[in-house]
């Protein structure tokens, strides 16, 4: 390319000229590549008022709202990806996490779970929150809204206890 720009015969000057546009192109390609992956993911998402967060158990109590806020991004079909969630290779890593999170526990499928499974999940929810295992530490760093104070953990456990009572 620089061969044609005789004024830039110097290799270093040539590199400085060519490098910035190449980097920009590379970033654009990564975003373009990451886009379809995440769009496919959000396609399963927009269920409007049928979404879990409109259900009374997640809307009508502080515990339920705290769960939706701190856990819903990975444990429901309602996933809001941050801008970097559209850029490979990060988008692959995030997508895998969300897939595994939904498999373990999906609030959007809560009503389709057996009573036995709901019972087990309710027990786990209070446990993983109290021990600080969930939300995962790496997630908490980037999502301040997911950090739980002692009070929030109590609300979640109270919510789980209340739901458990309803299951019986």
* Residues forming the site for ligand HEC (CB under 6 A): 67, 70-71, 73-75, 97, 100-101, 104-105, 121, 124-125, 128-129, 134-136, 139, 146
Contact predicate 91/167, CB 8 Å = no
Other Cβ atoms less than 10 A from the Cβ of 122: the count is: 20
Min dist CB 146 to ligand HEC, Å, is: 6
Cβ 69 to ligand HEC, closest distance in Å? Answer: 9
Find, among 104, 105, 94, the residue nearest to 41 by Cα.
94
Cβ proximity to ligand HEC: between 17 and 96 the closer is: 96
Whether the ω angle into residue 122 lies within 30 degrees of 0, i.e. cis, is no
Determine the Cα–Cα distance for residues 82 and 96; give it in Å rounded to an integer. 15
Neighbouring C-beta atoms of residue 46, cutoff 10 Å: 10
CB of 41 to ligand HEC, least distance (A): 13
Q: 12 or 166: whose CB is closer to ligand HEC?
A: 166
Structure tokens that stand for 135 in this block: 């939300």
* Closest distance of CB 52 from ligand HEC, Å: 13
Cβ-based nearer residue to ligand HEC, 71 or 87: 71
Complex with ligand HEC: residue 73 or 108, whichever CB lies closer: 73
DSSP annotation of 113:
S
């Amino acid at each position: 390319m620089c061969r044609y720009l005789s004024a830039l015969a110097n290799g270093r000057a040539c590199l400085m000229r060519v490098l910035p546009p190449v980097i920009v192109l590379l970033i654009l390609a990564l975003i373009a590549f990451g886009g379809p992956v995440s769009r496919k993911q959000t396609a399963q998402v927009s269920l409007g008022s049928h979404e879990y967060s409109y259900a009374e158990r997640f809307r009508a109590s502080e515990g339920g709202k705290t769960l939706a806020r701190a856990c819903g991004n990975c444990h429901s079909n309602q996933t809001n990806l941050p801008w970097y969630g559209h850029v490979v290779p990060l988008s692959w890593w995030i997508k895998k996490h969300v897939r595994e999170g939904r498999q373990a526990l999906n609030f959007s499928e809560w009503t389709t779970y057996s009573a036995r499974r709901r019972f087990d999940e309710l027990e786990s929810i209070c446990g993983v929150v109290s021990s600080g295992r969930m939300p995962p530490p790496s997630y908490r760093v980037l999502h301040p809204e997911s950090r739980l104070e002692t009070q929030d953990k109590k609300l979640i456990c109270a919510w789980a206890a209340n739901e458990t009572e309803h299951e019986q």
